[in-house]
Structure 1
């Protein structure tokens, strides 16, 4: 039979082993979690860029329908809208 001291010693060893296992698990899980967080931000940014490009083309098409508008004016309007995303 186990005495009180031997049970306490076993529990302490068990706790030490468990904390080591927790650190190893954390070392494996943390990079995966950070990759998922990074992917969420990247997909959000890509979606935003896609929407800005779509808006710029729609605004250019609206402006291009007018009678007294030159191609240069349409291009300038679209470039101005795209400058919010792309540095030129």
Structure 2
């Protein structure tokens, strides 16, 4: 009966590392992209809050019209984008 050639320990470790990377990398990428998207959503929420605040400031001034308030909010959003 012939003996099968022994594989080196180094070859086995490289294969194990490759399998581990293949299992962990998609999860790591998904979590990283989730963090980035969550940050972007928070930024947009803060931007809308600030635009509403600017519109409210202008709206409490006597003599301001709805059109002026709307224009102010739109300009704020365009400048911040």
* Shorter-normalised TM range: 0.7 to 0.9
Stretches of structure 1 that go unaligned for 5 or more consecutive residues are: 1-8
Q: How does 1:59-74 map to 2 (within 5 A)?
A: 59-74=54-69
TM-score by length of 1: 0.78
Structure 1 runs (4+) deviating above 6 angstroms are none
Stretches of structure 2 that go unaligned for 5 or more consecutive residues are: none
> What is the deviation of 1:69?
0.7
Match of 2:47 among 41, 52, 56: 52
Which structure has the larger Rg over C-alpha atoms? 1
Aligned mates of 1:57, 1:38 — CA distance in 2? 29
Establish whether residue 29 from structure 1 lines up as the match of residue 17 from structure 2. Answer: no
Question: What SS is found at the alignment partner of 1:69?
Answer: coil
Match of 2:71 among 57, 64, 76: 76
Count of aligned pairs: 76
